[in-house]
Amino acid sequence: TISDYRHDIMGGEKHGASKPQPISSFSLLFLCLLMSDFTSTNIAKGDSSSPSMLKYTPPDNYLINCGSPQNTQLDDGRTFKSDPQSTSFLSTDQNILTSIDSFPVNISSSSSPSSSLPLYLTSRIFCDESMYRFLIFNPGLHWVRLYFYP
């Protein structure tokens, strides 16, 4: 009859959702192998459209090397502005800057990546309330990364 046919096709008497069917181990294994093959193929090809291969570029990018008298360029191409170039962002009555010429050998080879070590050579010291203000052009998530001596 038509109602029996509708029951078989629709998965229930009232056209509701049918019970979820368990996934067999074979189906799950096949899905994992398929995804693994797809992922490794994109990485091997160097497919730049693959999400894992895209490089994030922040919409607002402020790089400041506090206490530094000149710009600091890192090995990865990022350039951090000097303290004099970033004074328009800072509200403070203090001007306490400090620096060291180099790190001891045991510090240079420890946990910090060597490319970021120049950021640890200088600093600005605040003893009272001070504030950095940045103009943000795009709403959303923004990163604030602070470098401290390791």
- Looking at residue 5, its pLDDT comes to 43
Question: How far is residue 116's CA from residue 100's CA, in Å, rounded to a whole number?
Answer: 15
Contact indicator for 115, 87 with CB cutoff of 8 Å: no
Q: Does the reported pTM lie above 0.75? A: no
Chain segment 41-99, per-residue pLDDT in tens: 444 444 455 556 677 777 888 899 988 999 999 988 889 999 899 999 999 998 888 88
Burial class (CB in 10 A: 0-12, 13-18, 19+), 66: buried
- Dihedral sign, CA of 75, 82, 144, 123? positive
Contact indicator for 144, 58 with CB cutoff of 8 Å: no
Provide the residue ranges of all domains of the chain, joining segments of one domain with +. Answer: 2-53, 56-150
